[in-house]
A and B are shown apart, each in its own frame.
Chain A
Amino acid sequence: MENLSTFLAMDGYGTFIWPVYGVALTLCGVIWIARSYTLRSLERAQKDEDQAT
């Protein structure tokens, strides 16, 4: 537990380091999920249209 808190504290710079990693990974994650979801729904819609015609 002490090791974890020492690691998270990052020599007193944790408040500067963790937000950077957090924001970067969150933004990339949001783009990844949004694009994957949009692509899947478009492919499904196209398949439905193809079946209807």
Chain B
Amino acid sequence: MQLDERIDRLTMQRYANPKAFIAIADRVIPWLKVLTGLAFVGGLYLALFQAPADYQQSETVRIMFVHVPTATMSMMVFAIMTTSSIVALIWGHRVADLFARASAPIGAAFTFIALFSGSFWGRPMWGTWWEWGDARLVSELILLFIYFGYMGIWQTIDDPIKAAKAARITAIVGAVNLPIIKFSVDWWNTLHQPASLVRMDGPAIHESLLWPLFAMWAAFGLFYVTMALIGTKIEILRFQSRARAMRQTEGV
């Protein structure tokens, strides 16, 4: 492999070319749409019809199949946005900026669903819809506001270069909240239960509940990838259309 090609791969420069990105996206999006649809159908079937009721939580355990995947995805999407912003900052990768921008509404939707489902799970299990003293709940709510702030930057700053710079900083600084969300249940006494999946001694969830959970995880994960690729393509086309309009008005 040539040195230039190795550098290209390492820095992902080949994907910095919008044309190359669109060519790849066009090839994978139809397949991803089908896979996402199938994953949702399978996941919902397992979650609603196959998974047994929990001996303690009864049928409310089914809320877990929406709550846990969306809560983890809300953090994962923000981590991807931060990584994209760092890539854009170091290598001036424009598509990385647009990918982060396209990811934000999906991450915000996941965060909202996680908070909503958590509230609807908390009411029958804890006896409350919301607890301000719970660090996990509050830090997740802060994540939603960070998403709103990030999207607001792109909407309010007219100059796309300045908007991209401000958005990158927001994504990088906002990432400080991610370990706080993750470890809040270990660092503080919270109403929220401690980690039950990613643990040193293995998951504390029975296998019959794990498969529906993984299926729903796959569905939300595929949904994110599909929508982020479509969103990035939309941003690239908008950018190209704006550039064309500017060239026409300048008579170039």
Contacts and interface: CB of A to CB of B under 8 A. Distances in A.
A complexed with B:
yes
Interface of A: 10-11, 13-14, 16-17, 19-21, 23-25, 27-28, 31-32, 35-36, 38-39, 42-43, 45-46, 49
A15 B47 CA distance: 17
A32 B124 CA distance: 31
A28 B105 CA distance: 11
Main secondary structure of the interface of A (DSSP, over half): helix
B225 interface: no
B59 A11 contact: yes
Interface string B48-79: 10000100001110110011001000000000
Contacts of B63: 16-17, 20
A35 B227 contact: yes
B121 A42 contact: no
* B interface, over-half SS: helix
Contact of A28 (B48, B109, B240): B109
Contacts of B244: 49
A24 B113 CA distance: 6
B174 to A, nearest CB: 21
A35 B60 CA distance: 32
B112 interface: yes
Interface in B196-252: 220, 223, 227, 230-231, 233-234, 237-238, 240-241, 244
B230 A46 contact: no
Most buried by B among A16, A17, A20, A35: A20
A52 B117 CA distance: 50
23 contacts: A14-B59, A16-B60, A16-B63, A17-B60, A17-B120, A19-B116, A20-B117, A20-B120, A21-B48, A24-B70, A24-B117, A27-B112, A28-B220, A28-B223, A31-B106, A31-B227, A32-B223, A35-B227, A42-B234, A46-B237, A46-B240, A46-B241, A49-B244
B123 A24 contact: no
B117 A32 contact: no
